[in-house]
Amino acid sequence: MRRLNLGKWALYATILASSFAAIPVSANTANVSDDFTAIWSRQQAEKVTLTKETTAPEVNMNFDLVAPDQWVWDTWPLQNRDGSLTTIKGYRVAFALVAPRTYGWGERHTHARIGMFYSKNGKDWTYAGIPYSIDKALGHHQWAGTAMMDENGKVNLFYTSVTDMNANGGKEWNEDNWLQRAEQRIATTTFDINADKDGVHLTNEGEHKIILQADGKYYETIQQFQKHGNNITAFRDPFFFQDPNTGKEYIIFEGQTANTTLKPENIGDEEYRKTHSVPDRAQYYNGNIGIAEVLDHDITKLKLLPPLVESIGTNHQMERPHVVVNGDEYYLFTISHTFTYAPGLTGPDGVYGFYGKGGLRADYKPMNGSGLVIGNPSNNPYQAYSWLVLPNQQVISFINEPRDANGNVHLGGTFNATVKVNLNGDTSEVGKEEKTGEIKPFGANR
């Protein structure tokens, strides 16, 4: 009798398992192949519009300069390996792109370095200068990245090394038409860190190493880019990420897709394609969110993987990508400009988000139906830029080119007021405005 009951239960279990297997799995889960790349299509991006839920607060025109002698822009905090905020003897640490104000507003891009700031309260920041030797750093100048303090107390700085591809050794630079020659690679170095009554100090600078460069297969090289010459090439903005659900580590970055063939799904669904034509050269707006798997503990050996998201025919730049995790929900954020939208499309300078469930490799869908999470208000379209969403849903950015009440443009180059963004599944809403440059303590992604 007992064997008969076991047989019945075995049969029941088989039927039950088959029934579950027959239930369709949401396309927004991690049940996709390891080489799957989600798409931000023209059809989706066409829905981008500012609403009260996605419009950034107006910049306060009575802003102070966090470093009066420096232009300050793309900013990121020092985080622990698990993504939580680092504190060192009560100090919080942040890094940002800086350039002397003796250079013009436009010139700052080709004279950029990475500066360090520290604060006891996360609101009042002290500029501590450039923590590395410019002679040791790779490239003519350095663009954005991230910083991680490992379990041994070493600060790992990841940054973009920018070189004039025609220059000897990368230290020479020709300003003429530099956008066409700005070769970008991803580099790293390390430091020891200590703090005392005089502030935070980085010492014992390590060797600077290139750890990633475009492969021409998944990610467009500058030679491939030069054949069509659209805007600026991109292989930059490394973001170190430890997946809390798997423990695996990655570098996520901005890239551009090597194969610019416009697939039907890059345009939209079949019904949409029947009534919409694609303007010439739209396929060369080929931004993507790239990813490389970290293969060693020291983060010097990596393997390039297919992009997480591509925007061929939609947008040319998906800058400073980063991830926030809440349980099995993965939020993939990036920033983009109005001028980098493909012909026939437009949207505000802002932070855009993509929502997936079940794993980092997911069929990401644009948040809020279009992708827009926070955009500059229409009457002040360039007031701020370079938003970074932190694990506690604080969003930091810098003041860019705000207009006053008379329509006059002022040059910023300093920390903007932090805002909150409230995330609810695949939708979001801009929350309350906080203090200028504020970074509150936060734990790891969960």
Catalytic annotation, pick one of 237, 254, 310, 319? 319
Residue with token string 């297997």: 21
Retrieve residue 372's tokens: 């827009």
Q: Report the alpha-carbon distance of residue 241 to residue 251 in Å, rounded.
A: 6
Residues 6+ apart with CB under 8 A from 181: 164, 165, 166, 174, 222
Is there a catalytic annotation at residue 198?
no
Is there a catalytic annotation at residue 319?
yes
Q: Report the alpha-carbon distance of residue 377 to residue 368 in Å, rounded.
A: 17
Q: Report the alpha-carbon distance of residue 367 to residue 303 in Å, rounded.
A: 29
Residue 217 to residues 26, 93, 98, 214, 243: CA-CA distances in angstroms? 30, 37, 33, 8, 25
| Dihedral sign, Cα of residue 322, residue 255, residue 70, residue 398 | negative
The closest alpha carbon to 336, from 297, 308, 370, belongs to 370
Say if CB 41 and CB 282 are below 8 A apart. Answer: no
Residue with token string 């998906």: 318
Catalytic annotation, pick one of 74, 220, 310, 426? 74
Say if CB 351 and CB 333 are below 8 A apart. Answer: yes
Residues belonging to the active site: 74, 319
